[in-house]
Chains A and B, each alone.
Chain A
Amino acid sequence: MAQSKRAIVTGGTRGIGRAIVKELASRSCCGVLFSDVAFVYNSCEECVEEIRQEIKSPETRIFALKADASSYEDAEATVAEAIQKLGGVDILVNNAGITRDNLLLRMTPEEFDTVINVNLRSVYNYTRAVIRHMIKQRYGRIVNISSVVGLIGNPGQANYAASKAGIIGFTKSAAREFASRGITVNAVAPGFIDTEMTRQLNEKQRETLIQNIPLKRLGTPEDVARVVAFLCSDDAEYITGQVINVDGGMVMS
């Protein structure tokens, strides 16, 4: 069996993050067995046990670490703990994200800052915390979860869109900075994925959105997780600085 990898995933208890944790922990293909995952979470205590139950591979070690992704100090401590438990780190998936939707006319500074801090600042926090280790071992895979909203915008989501577009700029800069050290950095931009986050929309909004998706269905968290797992695998070693849309064809660039 190929060597196992060690992954840290932020925002791992729900939605896309949860699917990523499960995919990385269970997947055994492409010459890589992803065995050990430390995920960072800030809400949903009961989800932690559920995830453990859902992951069927007994050899996989799963660690749950509670932290506020927007806190630099939390990130340093959490990554140090994760590295100690995993015995190193090969993969970082920056997935933690929230929405505070509001029309710009009503959006408060607090709503703007909270979203930027959790969604964008966290990407800096965790990348900064793992990069030393990855540079030293001359290997690393970083995947940042952006959004098609970061590419095309969305009314009521100026804060969210700004954070997700920011992630793309961050991804490309980091990809250039660390390419010479065997570290790839990519972003995945999900479209309309069926998670708690998008269930806030009403039936009519959902119908309208689906009309604009060529593949005529919502995405699943697993649709996204499989692409993330691919980008983390050695099969994707020649891909860096890219934004891969997983959106049923909603946005074609």
Chain B
Amino acid sequence: MSALIKGETGEWEIVIGMEIHAQVTAQSKLFSGSAADFGAEQNTQVSFVDAAMPGMLPVLNKVCVEQAVKTGLGLNAVINKTSIFARKNYFYADLPQGYQISQFEDPIVGLGKIEIDLPDGTTKDIGITRLHLEQDAGKSIHDQHPTKSFVDLNRSGCALMEIVSEPDIRGPEEAAAYINKIRMILRYLETCDGNMDEGSMRADVNISVRHPGDELGTRAEIKNVNSVKAIGQAIDFEVARQIELIEGGGDVVQETRLWDPVKMETRSMRSKEEAHDYRYFPDPDLLPLVLEDGLIEKIKATLPELPDEKKHRFMKDYGLSLYDSSVLIAEKSRAEYFENVINDNDPKLSANWVINELLGILNKESKALEDSPISAEQLGGLIALITDDTISGKIAKEVFAEMYTSGKDAAVIVDEKGLKQVTDTGAIDAIIDKVIEANPDNVEKYKGGKDKLFGFFVGQVMKETGGKANPKIVNDLLKKKLS
């Protein structure tokens, strides 16, 4: 669903590539033993190495390497058995070494691809260019003192995976779908918690425009887009800016631009003269990273079922729609919950209850599935009562509401409240007779052709039974009596 934009000189195609920085889930930093927890008191997770004291040396954390390999496998990518750490040199107050240890020419993960799910119910493949490991910088704090800035080095040296996409993304929806899918994969793999609020996942967006079929246009790199919403807004602004610029006879400059979420605009960060020359070179403190034989296979064996595999399995095995499957696999725990609900129940009915009822109310109350008062087994129990005609779908919604507040099992509630469906045709017969007797006018009208009144009779019968009568039996009997 390429979103083409109409301009004065014809239609424009948006071309986007993304660089996602994902903090590796690990006990300690990429090259030091310091803790890597979020939210610790400032400068309490800083070793001599992280502070770049004289003579300190980096030692690679093996766990981070394994996490990167795992992520690479999850992105269906080539794992490079030899990769090289390089120094990216620049000065900044929150960069203690004066260089960031990253990977440049030889990253640990090469070409891969993932499938994204679009709002119109289609999917699309997006190419992954590479994934490399690198150190995070510290954090500069500028608003605490009139003339001084402060630096918090807790984050300095934490392991990041930079995941670079091919320029395959064609608009804000695809960009959102891409980042959501990457986040989902990382969370399935437990290699990054994907928390954008805490900065453990951040994105830079490379944007250019072209007339369809033309060569790629010159791109601008947009930084500081820290939510899926901001990514959409930044793309909209930047695309409009570039089209206006080109159609006005100007040229897009290849540059880094900063997204300003207050003014809702992108701004040039530095001029060409100020552009950094990072002077990359292989870090002489570190040997080339050579993956041991068998490590990749070992990690492959620990991979969970990935979101897209799960999605396709749900569609194939359970006959679910792409949309329902996509919703259910969005979180690993959600998919697990759903599969526990099914048990012997009908998958489609189960999907409806999970998506529409349970996720509906949880969303409304801003609760996570983990906090649901109704367990998967309990919801499965409720659906089983519908399936075996113990209760009607309508009564089930009442029982569900009661379950949600009390946490009781469906069967207990049905018992306590006497909600068991009436399937005794004799009893229903008697009630129908009573209703017909009480409404001679409507019987007359119905028989005179006013078919719509059938619903009225059903309603009256249900009212008399407190909603417990089996609707199908009521329908059948009523039709007979009124004919």
Partners in one complex: no
